[in-house]
Amino acid sequence: MKLTFSAEDEAFRAEIAGWLRKNLVGEFAALRFRGGPGDEHMFPAERKRWEQKLAEGGWTGIGWPRADGGRGCSIEQQVIFHEEYARAGAPGRVGHIGEGLAGPTLIAFGSEAQKLKYLPGILAGTELWCQGYSEPGAGSDLANVKTRARPDPVGGGWLINGQKVWTSLAHEADWCFVLARTEPDSQGHKGLGFFLVSMHQPGVVVRPIEQLTGTSEFNEVFFDDAVAADIVGEPGDGWKVAMALLGFERGVSTLGQQMQFQNELDEIIRIAKSNGAAVDPVIRQRIAEAHTGLRLMRYNAMRMLSGSDSGHDQASSLVYKLHWASWHRNLGVLAMDVLGPEAEIIESAPYNLTRLQSLFLFTRSDTIYGGTNQIQRNIIAERGLGMPKEPKGKLS
């Protein structure tokens, strides 16, 4: 692994840190340290305006090629951006699915017309995206997708029918990328298409899911002959495009996630010092383990990013989801133990949870969404270690 910072990089660090100091004030001051896990529902309108503020400053798509409207920053500079963004307490991004997933996928697989159509709205922070992967019968096993796409006899494109679930911020999104079957009798990885679907049309219904935290950043999304504006690649290419997108998900944006984790751990340490929990040797050991785990996560991300095939399906990237999900779930438990017995007490309805209470409840889902721990272990065994595929039982 080689990841060092040059004088030019440090100048870049000073630029972004200075911009954040100057702009994370006024109407945006209330957004500091908000919008993280368990808090993603907060301040949606203000965070949308923040996305546009970032765009005005030239801080969206910084890793995209200049030819596609990005800033063409190096991996090192992207790392610096995420470090300084989190250090300043800048809010969780509502545009990260568009910028971190949809945009890179279109750059890699989209036509020139599709790039011209979709990339400017992502870069400007004016069009938000959501991810249409999980389904009631295909949460972790994406190859079980049942949502269908059929040719539109009138418009000549494709019509989407089916249901997606656990769709983050679908109620705020303008567009959804949808994995759907273009061949009715196909199974597994075959016969899939990767579609771009407007959320603002008849035939698209978003139904919020009330979670354990009492909030609803997750949703069910129903498609009833919804028109797909475009297909990326050819019919049948869906699996290839979808897997590449997941590779982007494990890319440099993982560092932004880790910076949020660091802020959460810092808050827990601050509370432990102030309420005396830090004198408990067991608590001290668990805090040290949390710190060590986060550092391991960071260096593994650095190793991924400094590799020749950064962000793709290399062995070092396969362990990432399993590692951070378990680490974060344990952090939620640690937060409750540091807070003490009062952490389990809420005075009365409405049940306004503190940030750490929300964190604890939300992290119960970390080892489930985005691929369960069980599925992740199968992926590591089969793709990373080359072990035989898991035997599949047949339903009678």
Output the pLDDT for position 310.
45
In the chain, the percentage of residues whose pLDDT exceeds 70 is 92
- With 0-12 / 13-18 / 19 or more C-beta atoms within 10 angstroms meaning exposed / middle / buried, residue 21 is exposed
Distance from C-alpha of 239 to C-alpha of 143, rounded to nearest angstrom: 8
Cβ(103)–Cβ(130) under 8 Å?
Answer: no
pLDDT at 318 over 50: yes
Please pick, among 40, 172, 249, 264, the residue that the annotation labels catalytic.
Answer: 249
CA distances from 126 to 73, 112, 175, 234 (A): 22, 20, 11, 28
Distance from C-alpha of 311 to C-alpha of 69, rounded to nearest angstrom: 21
Q: Chain-wide mean pLDDT for the chain?
A: 88
- Return the structure tokens found at 326: 């378990």
Q: For the chain, how many residues are written?
A: 396
- pLDDT band of residue 312 (cuts 50, 70, 90) is very low
- Give the tens place of pLDDT for each residue, 140-153: 677 889 999 999 99
Give a three-class secondary structure readout of 245-300: HHHHHCCCHHHHHHHHHHHHHHHHHHHHHHHCHHHCHHHHHHHHHHHHHHHHHHHH
Assign domain 129-235 one CATH number from 3.20.20.210, 3.30.70.580, 2.40.110.10, 2.40.50.140. Answer: 2.40.110.10
- pLDDT band of residue 43 (cuts 50, 70, 90) is confident
Give a three-class secondary structure readout of 136-200: CCECCCHHHCCCEEEECCCCCCEEEEEEEECCCCHHHCCEEEEEEECCCCCCCCCCEEEEEEECC
Which one is predicted more confidently, 394 or 42?
42
Distance from C-alpha of 319 to C-alpha of 385, rounded to nearest angstrom: 11
- Give the tens place of pLDDT for each residue, 351-374: 778 888 888 998 988 898 777 888
Q: Which fold has domain 250-385?
A: Butyryl-CoA Dehydrogenase, subunit A; domain 3 (1.20.140)
Output the pLDDT for position 3.
63
In 3-state terms, what secondary structure has residue 2?
coil
Distance from C-alpha of 312 to C-alpha of 248, rounded to nearest angstrom: 7
Distance from C-alpha of 10 to C-alpha of 390, rounded to nearest angstrom: 48
pTM beyond 0.75, yes or no: yes
Q: Can you give the residue ranges of every domain in the chain? A: 8-93, 129-235, 250-385
154 Cβ contact partners less than 8 Å away, ≥ 6 residues apart:
none
CA distances from 377 to 57, 103, 241 (A): 41, 29, 22
Known catalytic residue at 249: yes
Distance from C-alpha of 222 to C-alpha of 171, rounded to nearest angstrom: 12
108 Cβ contact partners less than 8 Å away, ≥ 6 residues apart:
244
- Give the tens place of pLDDT for each residue, 198-222: 999 999 999 999 888 778 888 999 9
| Cα 315 versus chain centre, distance | 20
pLDDT at 253 over 70: no
Output the pLDDT for position 142.
77
Architecture of domain 8-93: Orthogonal Bundle (1.10)
Helices 320-339 and 253-275: crossing angle in degrees, nearest 10, is: 20
Output the pLDDT for position 307.
63
pLDDT at 2 over 60: no
Q: Give me the mean pLDDT over the 292-320 stretch.
A: 73
107-111, 155-159, 380-384: lowest mean pLDDT where? 380-384
- pLDDT band of residue 250 (cuts 50, 70, 90) is low
- Give the tens place of pLDDT for each residue, 96-114: 899 999 999 999 999 999 9
Cβ(105)–Cβ(241) under 8 Å?
Answer: yes
- pLDDT band of residue 384 (cuts 50, 70, 90) is confident
Distance from C-alpha of 370 to C-alpha of 55, rounded to nearest angstrom: 28
| Cα 78 versus chain centre, distance | 16
Within the chain, how many helices (H) and strands (E) appear?
Answer: 13, 7
Q: Give me the mean pLDDT over the 246-256 stretch.
A: 69
- Burial readout 230-242 (b: 16 or more C-beta within 10 A, e: otherwise): bbbbebebbbebb
- Give the tens place of pLDDT for each residue, 54-103: 999 999 999 999 999 999 998 889 888 988 998 898 998 899 899 999 99
Output the pLDDT for position 217.
84
